[in-house]
Amino acid sequence: MASAPLPDTIARDRSIRRAGPPRVGIISNSRSHRNRVRGAEAAVVPADTPNLLYRGPRTLPALAHALREFRDAGVELLIVDGGDGTVRDVLTCAHSIFEGAMPRLAVVPSGKTNALALDLGIPPEWTVQDALHASASGTVRTRASVEILRGDAEEPELCGFLFGAGAFVRATELAQRTHKAGAFNSFAVGISLFWGVAQTLFGGRDNDWRAGEPVRLQLDQGPAVDKTLYILFSSTLERLPLKVKPFGRVRPGLKMLTVDAPPLKMARAVPALLRGSEAAWLKKAGYHRDDVSSFTITLDGGFILDGELYEGGTVTVRQGAPLEFVTP
């Protein structure tokens, strides 16, 4: 059974009201793209700002230590100054440290990819100071993360927002190459998407893109099915870069797209998928969309979570608890 939808906002027409200034913790990634170019935004916040803790951890153990400091200090607003990968690392560490009592979050989009910020309506030029101001007068939007559990584990190993396997892994590798060439955000997504489709359309029968990957897939509590997939893409985000709609109509919850291998009618199907078409012929041609609360996949190849490649095996992907994000 699909999980219950989350409201897009919980404070669309009202300010966030508190008895006093919130205790704020800032995690800044000095190696994120914008911070390397312009300097870390958090660094320009006055040191004597009341109720503010700033940390710039460079390793996962240092990040965990900083988050424990924030928890013990009673932080009410956690600002993440970085890209999607930084958000993934912070949420993954924070899940066990805050034990279900997560503070409100704010994202300053300073990475190479900032899909979460785009979905939340955060402008590219948003700063730490903007997030601080929004904590008093902005809107709060809710999003659930994607949680990844390994084998029979009950607690997630990873928390993020964009999960993919099969051709999604190759497309991500292409995106990382475009980053090195100076392309970022939606432009990088566009280049990678175009090149991936071209590789598939014009490749021969032995083309790795077309061949797909054998997997065992189980949706919610349904039966496990062995199949070969060209791509699997899943997310709890509602709005994606370039305004593409691979899951169809915009809606909350954990959504997934799977494409059978080898993909059929791609020249017609890809434009239809990207604009959100829900025509019946797409499913008949092997393009499947599902709303789920969780799914379990076994695959030999790796999977991608928010731009990072992880080892395959048997993993369960589920919708996590709702998180509150401060937005403009």
Identify whether the C-beta of residue 97 lies closer than 8 Å to the C-beta of residue 68. yes
d(CA 261, CA 264) in angstroms, rounded, equals 8
d(CA 20, CA 37) in angstroms, rounded, equals 35
d(CA 197, CA 199) in angstroms, rounded, equals 5
Domain covering 160-323, topology: Tumour Suppressor Smad4 (2.60.200)
pLDDT tens per residue across span 123-178: 999 999 999 999 988 799 999 999 999 988 999 999 999 999 998 888 777 666 54
d(CA 242, CA 122) in angstroms, rounded, equals 15
- Domain coordinates of the chain in residue numbers? 24-137, 160-323
DSSP 8-class letter at 43:
G
CA angle, 71 as apex, 306 and 309 as ends, to 5°? Answer: 15
Longest Cα–Cα distance in the chain: 65
What is the residue type of 260?
D
pLDDT at 195: 55
pLDDT tens per residue across span 213-228: 999 999 998 999 999 9
d(CA 107, CA 125) in angstroms, rounded, equals 12
Identify whether the C-beta of residue 25 lies closer than 8 Å to the C-beta of residue 57. no
Question: Domain 24-137, CATH 3.40.50.10330 — does that match?
Answer: yes
Q: DSSP readout, 157-209?
A: SEEESEEEEEHHHHHHHHHHHHHHTT--HHHHHHHHHHHHHHHHHH--TT-HH
Identify whether the C-beta of residue 248 lies closer than 8 Å to the C-beta of residue 239. no
d(CA 174, CA 192) in angstroms, rounded, equals 6
**pLDDT tens for the 328 residues of the chain, in order:** 444 455 554 433 333 344 567 899 999 987 765 555 455 555 455 555 668 999 999 999 999 999 999 999 999 999 999 999 999 999 999 999 998 899 999 999 998 889 999 999 999 999 999 999 999 887 999 999 999 999 889 999 999 999 999 988 887 776 665 444 343 344 444 445 555 666 666 656 667 778 899 999 999 989 999 999 999 999 999 999 888 899 999 999 999 999 999 999 988 998 999 899 999 999 999 999 999 999 999 999 899 999 889 999 999 999 999 999 999 9
DSSP 8-class letter at 41:
G
d(CA 54, CA 79) in angstroms, rounded, equals 9
pLDDT at 168: 87
The dihedral built from the CA positions of residue 158, 161, 166 and 169, taken in this order, carries a sign that is: negative
* C-alpha dihedral, 215 to 218 to 219 to 221, nearest 10°: -170
d(CA 35, CA 28) in angstroms, rounded, equals 9
212: left (phi over 0), alpha (psi -120 to 50) or beta: left
